[in-house]
Amino acid sequence: MAAPTEAQIAHQQLIEQLDIHSIHKNFRNPNWRPNQRRNKNLKAIVGDASRREASALATPQDISGDATPADDGLSTSGTTTPANSSSGSNPPNLAQASRSLSKLVLEKSLKPSNGAAVSAPTATYTNIESAPSLSHSKHYCDITGLPAPYMDPKTRLRYHNGEVFGLIRSIPQTTAEQFLEARGAHTILK
Amino acid sequence: MAPSAIDQSAAAAPPDTKTYPPAKIFPVKETRFEKYIEPETGGRSKALQQPDSAAIVIDNGSHAVRAGWSFEKKPRFSMPPIMSKYRDRKLGKTFSFAGSDCYADTTARGHIRNAFEAGTGIVSNWDAMEHVLDYVFLKLGMNDADGSIDAPVIMTEAVANLPYSRKSMTEILFECYGAPSLAYGIDSLFSYRHNKGTTGLVISSSYTSTHVIPVYNSKALLRQTTRLNWGGYHSAEYLLKLIRLKYPAFTGKLNSSQAEHMVKEYCYLSRDYDQELKGYLDWTGLEDRDIVIQYPYTEEVIVQKSEEELARIAERKKESGRRLQEQAAKMRLEKLMKKEQDLEYYKQLQGKLVDETKKETRRLLDSHDIKHEAELEKIIKELEKAIKKARTKDVGGDPEENEEQPDFSLLEIPDDQLDEAQIKQKRQQRLLKSNHEARARAKAEKEAEKARVAEEERLDNERRENDLEGWLDEKRQIHADTLAKMKERDRLKQDLGNRKSLASQIRMKSIANLASDQPGKKRRRGGDDDNFGANDDDWGVYRQIAVGENSDDEQEEEDLMSNLKTVEQELLKYDPNFDYEQTHEAQSDWSKSLLHAFARGPRPFDPASQAELSQIHLNVERIRVPEVVFRPSIAGVDQAGLIDIAGDILNQRLTGLANHEDFLRDIFLTGGNTLFQNFDERVREGLRSLLPADSPIKVRRADDALLDAWKGAAGWAGTSAWKAAKISREEYQEKGPDYIKEHDMGNSYA
């Protein structure tokens, strides 16, 4: 093999200098062993969170007054706290209490923290997303971006004038789909 | 229609090739490795002296992580939240890099991983995040510490960050780095704080999202906050998509980093989008609107020859041609001489034969492989003829012209009066005669045709002179017809590609007919033989099924073209109303083409030039891409635009508050995506149309839309609010990773 050139040597030195793998990091806890499956994508995180939320929402309804026997003695409805209702005259059934404990916890944790009437639910990543637009959207040419008074029924592309139409008719359907995709109007086969 | 050209005057001839001022061409840019950042230790010792107020501040952005000490004016460094780790097999060594160091090496570039989920402000790759944090702490000189970070940490996070993400980050900072305390805050609120805002509407458009957050008495109303999933990242991806569609055959390598730089440098928000868009590709001013980006390319090496060299080459060519000619002439001469010698010889032989006995003659002839005297005569005649021909050729005469009428004497004499040799000769003469006559006929026909054309032209001219208007009308009609025919042909050609078109269906039908074994009605009637091929048109069916009916070969196309050309020439000459502008050539010229203006700008395009092939023209995109924040539907995002969101918050959600007009008095813009020219203008104009007429709207920009978040967080460190908001290590250990304290700058517990 040929001897490395000067530039190659310089580059190698730079790489060695930039490398942070070989540097011992004193500030790190040497015993830190993270969970192997901690990398989750947004969809999975939101999915997990909403599932937890859904199950939590479903649970208190199960034990609301009309669905459960009256002598449950624990929670009645979502509005009153379980502490109030369980302080009634009937001594709580221990087996039932243990069964419902997790539900109670959930119910409590779902209750708004300050107790006062809240106009909107707490902000979460999903519910602060802006709603679809209600205003009429103007149409623009998919090829040039200029105002588009026409639409080609075959490819569903919007176009500005006859010349653009000529181009639209000369491109294959797959390319047309790509143009549509830029506008989010492409066909998705499931 | 395409906008008309500006300065092509109504000339009868194609305008002279114009010269164009040199185009403004910008080189393509992308993020690169810059330089090695030295770890710096001074900050830590300084921080240790003021444990109550000093903190490490990390603005953990999806585009750039900015980190530094709270007691300094600005962050120490800014780096992309990326890492790259790979194993060099040759060296048996693992390398890992973070930040822009990843761009230093090609292999490293190939292994880049982003800590954030693409297009969101949510961290999803915690290994990458740890690498980035390692890098941050290394460069801040924390390697002198032992076992843990010994300075409080302030970090920014996304608005309404997901609990899982916050929990993971908290775990890492306390468990892995052993931070003494940690506080989270929202970047745009820090920016607002830094710009001394108390009540107002914060519009933060950054790399991965756009948020509108109302702030009331320095407290963010998070429940009224709205997010639009559009930011610089999406703009760059959108632009990249548009460029790829615009130049499907582009050879250069396009990546999103380049697109990001294009968005940043050449895009701007239009003050009146629809109005500006309408005339964006007009020729007037396109020069200024069109931005040319040059990608690297390799020029094909064309060796430029000097005048002298060219002359020498021409001389050499001429020389060799002359030599060849000379050689040919010499050869011809030699042949001629040989033929003459032969002729001489044979003549001598003939002379000898005259007084020889029959036997001797026979012997002499046999020795020359000649059968009888007649053949000898023929040879001599042929030689004479050849010599004559060669001689005339050398002097340049036409052999056909001065050829006299051949001898057809034998044709008149009946066969029975001739001997065998004569009959043979007669047959030859007959052949010659028919040949001769055919030539004469052809010549006559040619003459007649010439005369007919001349006559037609004469009549045409006469008609033109007598009735110019009628003549012109006729020509115009022809012109229009030819154009229509060409159009029709193009349409049919296109139709053929469509399976459902009439042309295609007819074609399929005839294929099916030809392929079917069942005899048709016609065949049954006419017996087994269907007479196919008797009519020449029958064969057209093969052409029809091969390419479809009405499809035409090149020939017809050429004909139409040349017809059009002649008619146009005549019209140009005699019709005062017909100028060059109306010719087909001018109509299909690039300066009439909107698509040319779109893809190639206001200059002619030379497809042979490598430089021009690796150029990208940005024109409509310059306003089309930033506009998406205001109209997400352009890019297919099914969300309300920024103005709609802000208007909704101001008009619907905040009306309950007593002094809700205060929000209008301070509409605050921060984040890199608000840096577009006219952004503040657009927000002001947009809101004005949604709000009551006399609303006091004031829009202002952050001093530094990029760094103010970090600066605000740094300024927050040491305050009593910070002290109340931070979570200590002990609290973490007691209450777990989900525990947070709500405060003015941060998210609420969800």
DSSP letter, residue B468: H
In B, which residues are within 8 Å of A140 by CB distance? 277, 624, 634
Residue B335 pLDDT exceeds 60: yes
CB contact A159 to B (< 8 Å): no
Are the C-beta atoms of A182 and B244 separated by less than 8 Å? Answer: no
> What percent of chain B has pLDDT above 90?
36
Checking if the pLDDT of A77 tops 60, the result is: no
A182 and B CB contact within 8 Å: yes
Would the CB atoms of B636 and A184 count as touching at under 8 Å?
A: yes
Instruction: Give the model's confidence band at B265: pLDDT under 50 very low, under 70 low, under 90 confident, else very high.
Output: very high
Q: Is the pLDDT of residue A176 over 70?
A: yes
- State mean pLDDT over B140-150: 84
Asked whether the predicted pLDDT for residue B735 surpasses 70, the reply is yes
Residue among B30, B14, B13, B141 at smallest CA distance from B76: B141
- Label residue A102 by pLDDT band (50, 70, 90): low
Q: Which of residues 155-214 of B touch A (CB under 8 A)?
A: 158-165, 168, 171-172, 175-178, 211
The model carries a pTM of: 0.72
Residue B741 C-beta-side C-alpha neighbours within 13 Å = 15
Amino acid identity of residue B540, one-letter, is G
Band of residue B425 on the pLDDT scale cut at 50, 70, 90: confident
In which band, very low, low, confident or very high, does the pLDDT at B319 lie, cut at 50, 70 and 90?
very high
Type of residue at B62:
S
The predicted structure's pLDDT at residue B554: 59
A129 inside 8 A of chain B by CB? yes
Residue bearing the bigger pLDDT, B576 or A101: B576
Is B122 within 8 Å of A125 (Cβ atoms)? yes
Contact (Cβ atoms closer than 8 angstroms) between residue B251 and residue B614: yes
Per the CB < 8 A criterion, the answer to whether B557 and B499 are in contact is no
A41 closest CB neighbour out of B117, B641, B747: B117
Q: Which candidate in B223, B281, B286, B631 is best for mutational testing of the A interface (most A CBs within 10 A)?
A: B223
Between A64-73, B142-151, B184-193, B527-536, the lowest mean confidence (pLDDT) is in A64-73
pLDDT, position A79? 43
- Which pLDDT belongs to residue B399? 46
User: Which chain B residues contact residue A179 at CB under 8 A?
Assistant: 245
Spatial separation of the C-alpha atoms in residues B746 and B738, rounded to whole Å: 15
Q: How many CB atoms lie within 10 A of CB B192?
A: 28
Q: Which residue has the higher pLDDT, B391 or B521?
A: B391
Task: Find the CB nearest A133 among B278, B593, B640.
Answer: B640
A62 touching chain B per CB within 8 A: no
Share the mean pLDDT of chain B: 84
Asked if A26 lies within 8 A of B224 by C-beta distance, the reply is no
Contact B429/B415 with Cβ under 8 angstroms?
no
Quick check: B316 pLDDT over 80? yes
Contact B638 A160 (CB under 8 A): no
Local structure of residue A166 (DSSP, 8 states) = H
- Residue from the list A124, A135, A147 with its beta carbon closest to the beta carbon of B750: A124
Report the gap between the CA of B229 and the closest CA in chain A (Å).
8
Read off the pLDDT of each residue in B582-594 and give the average, rounded to a whole number. 77
- Which residue among A138, A144, A183 sits closest to B598, beta carbon to beta carbon? A144
**Could you tell me if B601 and B283 are in contact, meaning their C-beta atoms sit under 8 angstroms apart?**
no
Query: In chain B, positions 710-749, which contact chain A (CB-CB < 8 Å)?
Result: 747-749
- CA atoms of B672 and B232, how far apart (whole Å): 7
pLDDT tens-digit readout, B120-134? 889 999 999 999 999
Q: Kindly determine whether residue A29 and residue B175, on different chains, have CB atoms separated by under 8 Å.
A: yes
Of the pLDDT bands very low, low, confident and very high (cuts 50, 70, 90), residue B383 is confident
Helix/strand/coil (H/E/C) assignment for every residue in B683-734: HHHHHHHHCCCCCCCCEEECCCCCCHHHHHHHHHCCCHHHHHHCEEHHHHHH
CA atoms within 13 A on the CB side of B416: 0
Phi, psi of B597 (to 5 degrees): -60, -35
Cα separations (Å) of B113 from B86, B168, B230? Answer: 11, 18, 22
pLDDT band at B406 (very low <50, low <70, confident <90, very high): low
Confidence of residue B277 (pLDDT cuts 50, 70, 90): very high
Whether the ipTM is more than 0.90: the answer is no
Q: Do residues A154 and B586 touch, judged by C-beta distance below 8 A?
A: no
| Contact across the interface for B126 and A34, Cβ inside 8 Å | yes
Mutate to test the interface with B, among A29, A128, A169, A174 (most CBs of B within 10 A): A128
Query: Which pair of structure tokens corresponds to residue B487?
Result: 């159009």
The answer to whether the CB atoms of B160 and A123 lie below 8 A apart is yes
pLDDT score recorded for residue A85: 41
For residue B219, give the 3-state DSSP assignment.
Answer: strand
Contact B131, B96 (CB under 8 A): yes
Q: Check A130 against B640: CB less than 8 A apart.
A: yes
For position B750, what pLDDT does the model report?
63
Q: How many CB pairs below 8 Å do chains A and B form together?
A: 216
* Contacts with B668 (C-beta within 8 Å, 6 or more apart), sequence order: B191, B192, B195, B197, B200, B201, B202, B203, B700, B701, B702
Q: Give the pLDDT score at B115.
A: 93
**pLDDT tops 90 at residue B670:** yes
Whether B208 has a pLDDT exceeding 70, the answer reads yes
Task: For residues B144 and B146, give the distance between their C-alpha atoms in angstroms, rounded to a whole number.
Answer: 6
Average pLDDT, integer, range B8-15: 42
Looking at per-residue confidence, does A113 or A175 come out higher? A175
Q: What is the pLDDT of residue B529?
A: 62
- For residue B58, the cross-strand partners are B67, B155
> What average pLDDT does range B693-697 have in this prediction?
85
**615-644 in B: which are within 8 Å (CB) of A?**
620-621, 624, 631-641, 644
Q: Is the pLDDT of residue A169 over 90?
A: no
Region B689-718: mean pLDDT is 90
pLDDT at B402 over 60: no
pLDDT digits (tens, 9 = 90+) for B483-516: 888 888 877 777 766 677 777 787 788 788 877 7
Nearest-neighbour CA in chain A from B620: distance (Å) = 7
pLDDT of residue B53: 84
Query: Is A123's Cβ below 8 Å from some Cβ in B?
Result: yes
Mean pLDDT of all residues in B542-549: 60
**If DSSP codes are grouped into helix, strand and coil, which group holds residue B8?**
coil
CA distance A4 to B415: 100
Which of 213-242 (B) contact A at CB < 8 A?
222-229, 238, 241-242
Q: Which of A28, A111, A139 is most worth mutating to test chain B (most B CB atoms within 10 A of its CB)? A: A28
* Residue B126 contacts A where some CB pair is shorter than 8 Å: yes
Contacts of residue B374, defined as CB under 8 A and 6 or more positions apart, other chains included, come to B421
Which structure tokens are listed for B586? 């001018």
- B721 CA to centre of own chain: 56
d(CA B326, CA A80): 120
pLDDT in tens, B455-471: 988 888 888 888 888 88
Strand partners of residue B182: B153, B727
- Whether A64 and chain B come into contact, CB under 8 Å, resolves to no
For residues B112 and B632, give the distance between their C-alpha atoms in angstroms, rounded to a whole number. Answer: 30
Q: What is the pLDDT of residues B52-106, one digit of tens each?
A: 888 999 999 999 999 999 999 989 999 999 999 999 888 888 999 999 999 988 8
- Secondary structure (3-state) at B250: coil
Q: Rounded CA gap, B415 and B419, in Å?
A: 8
CA B293 to each of CA A42, B262, B609: distance values in angstroms, whole numbers, following the listed order:
36, 9, 15
Instruction: Please check the confidence at residue A1 and state whether its pLDDT lies above 60.
Output: no
DSSP string, A95-136: HHHHHHHHHHHHHHHHS-TT-S--SSPPP-TTTTBPPPP-SP
The mean predicted confidence, pLDDT, of chain A is: 74
The mean pLDDT of B659-668, rounded to a whole number, is 87
Q: Does residue A73 have a pLDDT over 50?
A: no
Residue B546: the pLDDT is 64
- In the prediction, which pLDDT does A119 show? 45
